[in-house]
Chain A
Amino acid sequence: MSDSLNSYRSQTDFDREHSFLFGNADINEPDDFESSNDQLETTSHNHSTSSEDEDDEDNNPFKGTNHLYSEGLQKSLNNKAVTSRRNIISSNPNVRLPPSVSYISMPTLTPHDIEYLNNENIKELDQPLYTSETYHGQASNDGFGQYSFIKSKEEEIKIIYAGKFQFADGKIAIGYTILYNNQKITRRYTDFVNLRQILKKMLPTCIIPPIPERHNLFSYILQPFHFSFNYNKSSGSRKFLDESDDTLLKRSRQFQMFLNLCLTKSNIRECIVFKRFIDADFANWVTVMNQPPVSILPESNLQAPPLDPIKPSPLHLLLPLPKRFQLNYKSKNNQKLNDDSEIDKDLSSIEHLESFNKFYIDPAIKIYNNFKSHLESAVDYIAELGGYYNVSSIETQFFNFHQNLTEEEYGLQDHSMNASILSTLDRRHEDGNRDGFVSDDALNIYLEKIGQIYDSNYIATQFLANDLNISIKEHLEMLSKYNEETISLIHFRQSKIMQKKIVEENHFVLREKLDFLRKIQTLDKTDKKETTAADVTNDLEEGQLSADISCDASEISISNQDESLDTSDGNKTDDFVESVLMKNKGNSKAIQAAINQYKIQKRQNAYKKVISETPLEKKDTKKKKKSSMEHSVISREKLDEEIEEVSKKLSHMTKLKELATKDVNEVNREFEKECDLQSKIYDDIWNKDILSNVEASVYAWANENLSHWEKFLSEIDI
């Protein structure tokens, strides 16, 4: 009872002290950052000391962990859980922890888990907060765990803690505490996912490093005891959390790698969203998500400038969206397209990457999984074997009975045997004293030593298995994800190129039409009065083409007009709403957000209309083909009108074409850069993370075992 009370108190205290940190804190003013940061440090310090005070009252201090079990297992577990939770509160000021009751009653919280949490937090508490030096020695949190041959790299950014937190929105989740620039910030898995999605949208030409996958139902079915069932009081929602050590460590490792890879890419490093993600001042990720630039991202990054999708020009919105199936489309027209070869190249590289995933990485992972399970059971057997050796070393001699033999016992048996037995015994004793039997115990020593060797071999092999798991499996998975990313980047580039091609085609068609119309005009001018049907029929072939073209063009112009009309209509009606909103703009953030939302919606509506009308175009062309045939004789007024229209359209299209070409060029340039960077990353992963690490750990493993066996051999030779 007292435990829960205490924690409740601490929680409310905490709320009061830190309320400014959550949600509605105004974080746009830099002055506030400084002060809040200072406060944050001091309050957390205060808090850690206060929680220690409470512990003294509880008669449950950190140092007294040994006596905890004396009070019975259940109670000691509770105590431990509470202690650990308190520590989390004190060391991670930007999150709260759930009320103690729900936490303690969780069935899957094994003593081991608690111990893990406890150890972690005692470590953190013992060290002063927010100093970089203190984390240097903390090798256990570098993502490899404590059991590894691999020396951890000095990383710029680190995940120093992973565990349960209650976040600002009241949900209990696993949080990962990031240490960067001596600042700590806790993010959860969904935050990472969001970040990645946004980065992908904001930097379409960039290959964003992969992050670990979500848990699927399958893994839950396989290992139900790794998950705990969390009941959230405030919203009543239930959620499964995987809080096994392995998963936490693995994810921390991967997130750390993700963040570090992000830092190596200048694009991402400069990105404001990423900066905020690792900035302790933006503790509440949800607010970041609802702010620009995140909130004003366009829906499709194909209709935005590839380098800066936040600021799309109005022309970008008019760019056509190529469909998926069009990506493989090859133009049948005679237009020379120098992009064709590039597209072919892209296609082959996509194919290559896909088959690389399919035929190398996947089977490799499969084989590795087999290998891993074998290795793991081998580890078990090694442990067993070490035990057997040790047990058998206790007693190896079966002919060894000096101790229990007394004359009386023989007397109880048959007296007639006495003499002979004793004589043999005597002889044996003589033998034993003479030679040879000095080494009686040697076998014991042998067995014991072998047992020890197997024991250490067990530990070493466990290290090895762990290391290989990290360096092979996780990295191969990452490579596979990277390949997928690269494929999607290639797709993006292709779509961009397709876009350009469509624009070019349209442009070409328009120009043809204009030329044709002009030709007719000049013809009209020369042969004003001698227009005959024959002429028309002579030109029928050409006319047909032109008719088609004209239809196309007119449709486009119509749709564009529609769009402009729509938008203008919309503008009229929406102006009122907007003005109302603008009036209240200063008062609340919510309205600001609403305005943003509104604007986006408006823009999106506009796109949607364009998109929805494009398919109509084609149908209409077919229908109107016949009608245009009938109206093959075009009146002069109409002709003039059309020429004007088409030329207008053409200038429009020229602009679009320029834009698209520019975009494609930009994308291509970025693509080259990205590929260079990516190849470096590939090389890095292969060289350092996979090959070198495997070599290092196997070597270390072999060396350690070698030293043991060599020692044994040298000892037994004497």
Chain B
Amino acid sequence: MTNQLEDSQPTRYKYNVIVSDPQKKRNEDTHDSFITYSISLRTNNPDYHLKDTTASDSNSRLPHSDLYDIDNTIVTRKRYSDFLILSQFLKIDYPLINIPKLPPKNNYSIKQIYHSNGPLSQNAQNVLNLNGKDQTTNNLGHGNIELDDGFLLRRLYSLEFYLNVLVNHASLQNYSLLITFMTNDAEWEILKNTIQFTKEHASIGQSSVEDEISEYLMNVFKKPAKEFKEIKEIKLKLEKLIYNLNKILKGSSKLNKLQELITKDFSHLHKLKFDVTAQDKKQVLSFDSSATEKHYSTFKENMNSSRLLLSELHKFNKYENLNKLLDMINYLKQLFDLIKLLDYKQLDLEALQDSSNKLQLEKKKYENINIEKGKKIDLKLITLEEELQECNKQVVSIFQVILKESENIEYIKDIQLKKLFKELAIKKVDFYKGMCKVWGPS
């Protein structure tokens, strides 16, 4: 718990993680197939470049600005289960830190993807495997999965968001496991295989969850008498922010649905075979209108290309932008969990204070009458005092964690949202540029 407090971040580094290129691989021993994602990281944090530099010692001491260069991109390949392991590590090592949730497991969809591309694995030998470190290298089945698949795309971008958050988090960015995860495939494999989650770990995790649940049930209707002003403010503002972001998300997705419908309209119109050109050709009225014919066919082409542009924009919004926004909102919501934890602790504290007050009253009562009892009460009071102190400490530390977390989250939120909006702007510019090009005077 004190770990993260000691972590200080002297400088903010720039990070950019891109998850892309899902590929299907097959472990023929177990007849399991899985999908790997390529993770490219660009950062000017030298810690991430250390292992890289030992491998290829040419750029060992580069200035920070140069590290954030497209040539210094670190590329690794991971599968979904790797992410799960990473997040388990994180939960154990940083129990109080908000770790964004991974995209859900969906066995059904995944299985569908596995089975649909079955015959592709026969070409495995022909395809060069870039990732020779996997132990299943020899028996790899491999297939490129079409990016049209909604589930896969969503997972892809959620993973991207997940990594971006982790990497930008002030307390997590220097976590050695994360660095290994991001930079070194081989080491990660070793770590993954050697460090098994002991039952102890698991039970700790479980019990804490149970505790939380019981605590939650106990305190669901209670509220601490005094709330920290800052926490209150954070809570209010966060609620507002989440509300607004939700509105934006909903509005955008509505708009997006309409875009989809409009795309469909375009394609319907495109399908209309009976067009002016036919009218003119068959026309007995000897309409000479080759110009119109030409005009119309270009018009149709234009419509088709704008349909394509629109559907591209639609896909971007649906799978990437809005998905990330949703993840962001969920991530922000997780701060509430922490605040709730603080509430519980405060309730505990209050309860302890109550009992100590009672004891003190009792002590006063029995002070002169019963020395024996007074001594007992004194003893009790001392232990209670200790507990109180302990609890107080916890509250303070949680409070501090919250402040720190909200600062971190705010930073991440700013960066991520800006990135989202920038991406949106870029896509929109692309779209409108395309539209201008298509419809502009030739």
Contact = CB atoms under 8 A, between A and B. Distances in A.
Contacts of A713: 422, 425-426, 429
B425 A716 contact: yes
Say whether chain A's binding surface is mostly helix, strand, loop, or mixed. Answer: helix
Contacts of B399: 417, 421
Contacts of B262: 371, 374-375, 378
A682 B289 contact: yes
Contacts of B245: 392
Contact of B265 (A352, A371, A400, A687): A371
Contacts of A404: 229, 233
Interface in B133-181: none
Contact of B229 (A384, A397, A405, A702): A405
Interface in B179-228: 226, 228
Given A385-B255, A705-B432, A398 B406 contact: yes
A548 B275 CA distance: 52
Contact of A367 (B269, B291, B295, B421): B269
A391 B276 CA distance: 48
Interface stretch (A84-92, A304-312, A355-363, A539-547): A355-363
Given A392-B241, A399-B406, A367 B268 contact: yes
A716 B421 CA distance: 10
Interface string B393-420: 0011001100110110111011001100
B258 interface: yes
Interface in A188-230: none
Contact of B237 (A371, A391, A398): A398
B261 A374 contact: yes
Nearest to A417: B396
In the complex, which range does the number of interface residues on chain B fall in? 35 or more
A699 B272 CA distance: 24
A370 B229 CA distance: 53
A112 B255 CA distance: 29
A702 B425 contact: no
Interface in B428-442: 428-429, 432-433, 435-436, 439-441
A442 B258 contact: no
Contact of A360 (B12, B274, B284, B425): B274
B390 to A, nearest CB: 12
A532 interface: no
In the complex, which range does the number of interface residues on chain A fall in? 35 or more
Interface stretch (A166-174, A272-280, A341-349, A585-593): A341-349
Contacts of B95: none
Interface in B289-313: 289, 291-292, 295-296, 299, 302, 306
Interface stretch (B20-28, B75-83, B246-254, B375-383): B246-254
A653 interface: no
A695 B279 contact: no
A389 interface: yes
Contacts of A683: 287, 289, 291-292
Contacts of A450: 421, 424-425
A414 B392 contact: yes
A235 interface: no
A706 interface: yes
Nearest to B10: A434
B124 interface: no
A677 to B, nearest CB: 10
Contacts of B426: 713
A388 interface: yes
A557 B92 CA distance: 116
A414 B429 CA distance: 54
B259 A699 contact: no
- In the A-B complex, the 6 residue pairs with the closest CB atoms: A392-B244, A702-B435, A706-B432, A398-B237, A679-B287, A385-B251
Given A371-B262, A417-B396, 12 more contacts: A348-B282, A352-B279, A368-B269, A388-B251, A392-B244, A397-B237, A431-B407, A446-B421, A683-B292, A703-B432, A709-B429, A716-B418
19 contacts: A346-B284, A360-B272, A360-B275, A370-B268, A371-B262, A382-B255, A385-B255, A392-B245, A396-B241, A396-B414, A398-B234, A409-B229, A417-B392, A421-B403, A439-B414, A683-B292, A686-B292, A691-B295, A698-B439
Interface of A: 345-346, 348-349, 352, 355-356, 359-360, 363-364, 367-368, 370-371, 374-375, 377-378, 381-382, 384-385, 388-389, 391-392, 395-401, 404-405, 409, 412-414, 416-417, 420-421, 424-425, 428, 431, 435-436, 439-440, 442-443, 446-447, 450, 486, 675-676, 678-679, 682-683, 686-687, 691, 694-695, 698-699, 701-703, 705-706, 709-710, 712-713, 716
